[in-house]
Structures are given as structure tokens and as C-alpha cells.
Structure 1
Amino acid sequence: MAADKRGNKTVRDLILSLAVLGVVVAVIYVFIPHDSKADPVKPISYSVELGQARRDAPFEVAGPEGLSARWRATSVTYNSADPHKVVWHVGFVDPEQQYVAVEQSNGDPDAFIGEVTLDAHRDGTRTVTAGGLVWERWAGKRYNALVRKEQGVTTIVLGTGPDGQLTQMAAALRERGGR
């Protein structure tokens, strides 16, 4: 008889606990502001970092110019701690809501390409011309990329977007600065 009574008490306590929890959740939902239609992408400005990189880097730093406002920058880094592996990165969400980034480094080209493209591979002999420059086409499981290796710097435009978006970003790049 005691086991039966205890079992009923446990179920009753569980129902009361769920009711209290439901009231707390309802209060939070009603009184905490939320906007389900808001854009989850919070654009950032990268002009300060781009200026710093162009003053400091041992190579001409690529930054996009002339892209529409629908291209929103979401991440930027410049790391010059190792003068033999200076790295510039700026990431975007493109108008199709896909990720596109510009990556540059004066480090070992093969290691840098493998690291930032997550081990993409050269797509045969395919090339793309963008901004008057010839880029190698690379394909990977996560990212596709356009790669340009020059003396002292490797420039990569990579992303989840279609080739047209990568080409548009590559065409918008302007290289300036460098020591």
C-alpha cells in the first residue's frame, strides 16, 4: 500500500513541477524581447583592420571594393605575430546567404591552402579570370576556392557559395599597401 501511495505522489509532483516550469517559460517568452523576423547576421566593419594590415603586412593586402550592401562582412582578423606567416582574413555573407572569404598569407603556400580550404584539391587545370587576373580553381568537401600564388603571397577566395559569387569577390579585390 505504501509503494502505491508513493507512486501517485511522484506523478502528482511531476505534473506540478511541469506546470510551474511552463509558467516560467511563458513569462520569459512574453516579457523578453525577441524578433523572429530580424536578420541573424550582424555585419561588422573591417576598415580599421584592413588599414592596419595594408600599413604593416609584407605583401599587398587584398580588400574588396564596389560590392553591393548585400555583401555583409561578418569576420576579420589580421595576425602578424610571425613575420614569416602573416595572415589576413575577411569573411562575408553574400547576397545568396552563403559564406565567402578572402584569405592571404606569406607563409608556405601549400600548407596555407590546405589549412584554410580544409584540404580542398586542385580542380584539374581549370582556371577562372577575375579582375584581370587568372585564378586556379580548387574544390573541396566544405569549400570551393579560387587560388592565386604569387611571389611572397598566396591569395584565396573561398566559400560555400556558387562559383559566380567567388568570381565576383575575386574581381572586386584591390591590393594595396605592403612593405
Structure 2
Amino acid sequence: MSEAQEDQQSAPVTPVLTAKQAKRANASAIGMLIATTVTLGLVFFVYLLNPTHTAETYTRDVDVATIASEAEDAAGYLPVAAELPEGWTANYARWTGASGDGVAFWEVGYLTPERQFIQVTQTNQSNPTWFAQRLEEAAPSGQRVIDGVTWEMLDSPSGDAYLTTERDGFTLILNGTADLAQFDVVGAAVLEKLG
């Protein structure tokens, strides 16, 4: 075999495409671009249909007094519906019947005007197990007096503050992320409703 023949055999072969073959080869790439563009257009359209999420999107102001009166028969007492100053809202109020722990309770979630959270829990059936579970490993950190009533203060590992007291046969628990001055507002409103 001559040297020229060896070079010819070792040289890579460059394929030559006909016009029809080249058109078919490019059709896959063009189809992929069209499909990608259509998909992105649909995603963008769906994105535009969704409302924006702002703090107001999640704001609910439930009628706590109405829900409390509806729960009265099940509770056997009128659950507390605190009357709070302008700017406060309640985002839920519910009666939870006795479950495995045997304790039925009332709870309401309030948002302060600064969008901080305080939950009120009320029961006349507290027991040590239920009480410990509600406090979520919070440790005592002192006492606080609200309208002449002493509340035990606790701090939880999650950062929530807790205030708890016994009043007129009820166990009351306040917990949340708000500052203590706002706990005072809720505590005073709850005590006023209890009379």
C-alpha cells in the first residue's frame, strides 16, 4: 500500500448532505426552539394569572364574637372574645373538642397592627399533660401583672413568649411573637371579658 493510500484511509470522512437531508436535520432544532418558546409563553401566562402575595393577601378578620357564640353550646360556657383596639385583627377562632388528652379548648389568633401574632387559649378542663404540651417546652422566666392579675411568663426554644394564668375556673394561655406591651393589651381585654 502506498503512502497516499494510507493517508486517504486514515483521514476522516466528511459527510456531504443533500439539501433534503440538511432540511430534515435542521427541522429537529427548529421544532425544539418552537416547543421551548411555546412552553415558556404558557408558563409566563399562568404566572400573570396568579395574584401577587402581599401581607394583605393573608389578612383575615374573622368575627370572633359570632364564632364564640356558636361554640357556646359545645363548650358549656361562652368562650372569650376579646375586644381589641383599632388595627387589631383575628385571623382564626375555633373550638377544639376533647381528643386523646381529654381537654376541649377555645383558641383565637390575633394580629397586632404591626402584624405580630398572639394566640389566646382558654379551657376549663386543663390537666398537666395538656398544659405541658401547649407550652411546648417553654421555661419559666418570671411573672407579669396585667390589670391586677399575675401571669406566669415563659420563654420557649422557638422564640415564642408565653403568659399563663388561672382565672374563674379557666386556664388561660397567651403565646406568640409580639412584644410584652401587646400581650398586656390582649391580656387586659381577655380579663375584661371574663369579668
Separation in 2, partners of 1:112, 1:95: 31
Residue of structure 2 in register with 1:158 after alignment: 175
CA contact (8 A) 2:68 2:78 kept: no
SS of the residue corresponding to residue 63 of structure 1 reads: coil
RMSD: 3.2
Q: Report whether the alignment pairs 1:71 with 2:88.
A: yes
The verdict on how the C-alpha distance between 1:162 and 1:176 changes in structure 2, with shifts beyond 3 A counting, is closer
Q: Report whether the alignment pairs 1:144 with 2:157.
A: no
Equivalenced residues, count? 168
| TM superposition score normalised by structure 2 | 0.70
Question: What letter is aligned with 2:166?
Answer: K
By how many angstroms is 1:60 displaced?
Answer: 6.3
Question: What letter is aligned with 2:61?
Answer: P
Which ranges in structure 1 are unaligned for 5 or more consecutive residues?
none
The verdict on how the C-alpha distance between 1:176 and 1:80 changes in structure 2, with shifts beyond 3 A counting, is farther
SS of the residue corresponding to residue 62 of structure 1 reads: coil
CA contact (8 A) 1:117 1:144 kept: no
Residue of structure 1 in register with 2:115 after alignment: 97
Separation in 2, partners of 1:26, 1:147: 50
Residue of structure 2 in register with 1:113 after alignment: 131
Which ranges in structure 2 are unaligned for 5 or more consecutive residues?
1-14, 16-21
More helix by share: 2
The verdict on how the C-alpha distance between 1:27 and 1:127 changes in structure 2, with shifts beyond 3 A counting, is same
CA contact (8 A) 1:46 1:76 kept: yes
Separation in 2, partners of 1:165, 1:79: 25
Q: Percent identity?
A: 21
Residue of structure 1 in register with 2:186 after alignment: 169
- Larger Rg belongs to: 2
CA contact (8 A) 2:64 2:81 kept: no
SS of the residue corresponding to residue 20 of structure 1 reads: helix
Separation in 2, partners of 1:21, 1:113: 54
More strand by share: 1
Question: What letter is aligned with 2:80?
Answer: A
Once the two structures are superposed, what CA deviation does each residue of 1:149-172 show, in whole Å capped at 9, x if it has no partner?
247421011111111211211011
Q: Report whether the alignment pairs 1:131 with 2:141.
A: no
